[in-house]
Amino acid sequence: MAYYSASKSIACHLMSIFFLKFLATPTLMLAISLAARRWGSHVGGILSGLPVTSALVMLFLGLEQGSSFVLQAVPGAIAGVAAIQATYLFYISATRRLKIWVGCLSALACYGLAAFLLNQAASLAVSLAVILCMVIAIVPRTSRMAGEGEAGYVPTPRWIIPMRMITATLLLLMITLSAEWLGPTISGLMAPIPVIAWPLAVFAHLQGGRRELGAVVRGNAIGALGVAGFYLTLKYSVLQLGISLSVTIASLIAVLITLLAAHLLRARHTP
């Protein structure tokens, strides 16, 4: 009887987590997408650069695999953030000469190569240094892109937001359900994949030109500083505080870092 009760309790717990994945992920994606539509590409880039998907992935990995698994996944996740920023820089450079669809495919290859090299380096310091270098390179570059082209931003099609919600949910399910097979390193690398920011950047480019592309990428680069803060906080707190409290604190720190960075950079680039 006791065994049956314990098994039933575990099953209910796992089912609750499963339904929470379906509820939390698309809701957050919807909120960010609507905010981007309401306040523009730069704000959308910052919000999409926050560790929304990453926080959910890490939360559910911790609930299902344990805090030690999350701790081991953090270096790979930070390497993933660095690879993503390198990919953005590559994309805005490559699409000056290449068509957008060619740039997307090339950027995907760039991400794979950068993630592989950073993972092989297996150095937290190297990954953090790459993130800082990429942000330093991206922000002035995208600020200059504000004068490239005269096209204004055209609202995205109605199906884009549902697509982002579905994609983000599927990514979360794929990582968390296969985490035991993938291992902490690959799970960490996949956690920061920009399922919101990348489609937002490409469609902004298609519809509003390089000016809108620059706004999204610049916002996402600023958000990357907060994401790095998120993972570092997680690294040094998850074993002591537990996964739920650690993710909450790390998310708040990420938001504070991002808002501070956005304020400082806005002040610097304001005439």
Question: Is residue 33 a part of any domain in this protein?
Answer: no
**Dist CA 61 CA 238 (whole Å):** 12
Long-range CB contacts (within 8 A, 24+) of 37-44: 37/155, 37/156, 37/161, 40/153, 40/215, 41/153, 41/200, 41/204, 41/208, 41/212, 41/215, 41/216, 41/219, 42/215, 42/216, 42/218, 42/219, 43/219, 44/200, 44/216, 44/219
Judge whether 234 lies within some domain.
yes
- Dihedral class, residue 209 (left if φ above 0, else alpha if ψ from -120 to 50, else beta): left
Assigned token pair, 179: 């985490």
pLDDT at 263: 77
Residue of 253, 203, 227 whose CA lies nearest to 58: 227
Tell me whether residue 8 is in a domain.
no
Q: How many domains does the chain have?
A: 1
Q: Which residue has the tokens 């790390």?
A: 250
**In contact, 67 and 263? CB cutoff 8 Å:** no
CA dist 25 and 138 (Å) reads 28
Query: Is residue 226 domain-resident?
Result: yes
Q: Is 16 among the domain residues?
A: no
* CA–CA dist 164, 31 (Å, integer): 11
Structure tokens at 18: 């499963």
Question: What is the SS3 string spanning 50-75?
Answer: CCHHHHHHHHHHHHHHCHHHHHHHHH
For each of the chain's 271 residues, which pLDDT tens digit applies?
A: 544 444 444 444 445 555 566 666 677 677 776 776 676 655 666 666 677 777 777 887 888 788 898 888 888 889 988 998 999 899 888 888 878 888 888 888 888 888 889 888 878 899 999 999 999 998 888 877 765 554 444 455 677 677 767 776 776 677 667 767 778 877 777 777 766 666 667 777 777 777 778 878 888 888 889 889 999 999 999 999 998 899 999 989 988 998 888 777 765 654 4
Q: At what angle do helices 197-241 and 41-49 cross, to 10 degrees?
A: 30
CB 84 within 8 A of CB 115: no
Q: Which domain holds residue 92?
A: 59-269
**Structure tokens, 175:** 């990582």
Domain annotation covers residue 262: yes
Say what the pLDDT of residue 211 is.
78
Q: Is 163 helix (H, G, I), strand (E, B) or coil?
A: helix
Largest CA distance in the chain: 73
Model confidence, pTM: 0.77
Is residue 23 a part of any domain in this protein?
no
Would 46 be classed as within a structural domain?
no
